[in-house]
Chain A
């Protein structure tokens, strides 16, 4: 169980990150904390990509994704940085307009 490290070990780390990120998304009401939860979820996906593209974790065969997995992770990182920039701008605008970062206060579109 503890050794050798298999792809399933990496998958379990990804599960922990995904579930904690989802709980963070569901329970926090601060915009910034919700963003942090999104980052955790994206990292869970990245861990899975790296696990399936790692030659270290697949010593007896070619990994399912070799180059592609790492390139996907790079793309996800760039998209996460872009998403953080836009979401932060929205959060600043939200704060200047409502005077808070509580997402429950942004209810002006309510019918």
Chain B
């Protein structure tokens, strides 16, 4: 981890990348450019995760989202586009409704974010040599701990001495198994759904304008 100033510079850099990508997604009229903006935005989010000290999650963000989901979306764009750089037309009413909804939502969310002030209630111990303060009872989150939590061994953070394991510390074994089966079922279903033939008698509708 760099010093506070380096962290601030990197944070603002990647925050601008993230928000700029999101704005490209909204404002671009072509779906391919929106996908590129999404890649930028997700990359910035991954870097923000790394900056916040969540290295494993940041790496997973790069691999699953930027490497997997966006490629899937790009295939979707390619398989459903009739011609390159398909324009996305939007009526003025839709923009009006969106802005009317987005403005109050933004105000509410900004107020909530501004009113959040963390209390420094938990005492921190300051290392005499380096001056780095680490909260009492704080274990570093390592990929090994994440994996152990997914396998059912979750150590509570406030008991680093590894006291008696109670019911609350039993980790995430059940959600992990559920989501594994869920992913399997979903992928089989997606493969089935994508390959299913259009029933006879339902001819594709004749559309002159693609997205008017």
Identify the A interface with B (CB < 8 A): 2-13, 15-24, 26-33, 35-37, 39-40, 43, 46-47, 50-51, 53-62, 66-67, 70-71, 73-75, 77-82, 84-86, 88-93, 95-102, 105
Contact = CB atoms under 8 A, between A and B. Distances in A.
Interface in B112-155: 112-114, 116, 118-122, 124, 133-141, 145-146, 149-150, 154
A22 B141 contact: no
B54 A5 contact: no
B146 A71 contact: yes
A79 B42 CA distance: 16
Interface residues of B, number: 104
A92 B192 CA distance: 12
A43 B72 contact: no
Contacts of B140: 55
Given A20-B22, A20-B26, A50-B54, A8 B41 contact: no
Contacts of B110: 12, 15
A18 B95 CA distance: 16
Contacts, number: 280
Given A67-B146, A71-B146, A92 B210 contact: no
Contact of B135 (A43, A58, A71, A77): A58
Contacts of A6: 118
Nearest to A40: B22
Contacts of A50: 48-49, 52, 54, 57
Given A66-B141, A79-B179, A85-B187, A60 B109 contact: no
B64 interface: yes
A19 B65 CA distance: 20
A37 to B, nearest CB: 7
B145 A67 contact: yes
Given A33-B31, A89-B194, A96-B204, A71 B102 contact: no
Contact of B120 (A7, A16, A61): A61
Contacts of B88: 28-30, 33
B194 to A, nearest CB: 4
Nearest to B58: A50
Contact of A62 (B11, B75, B135): B135
16 contacts: A5-B51, A8-B116, A15-B113, A17-B22, A21-B22, A30-B31, A39-B42, A50-B54, A71-B146, A71-B150, A80-B65, A81-B64, A81-B72, A85-B186, A86-B186, A88-B190
B124 A98 contact: no
Interface string B8-41: 1001100100110011011000010011001001
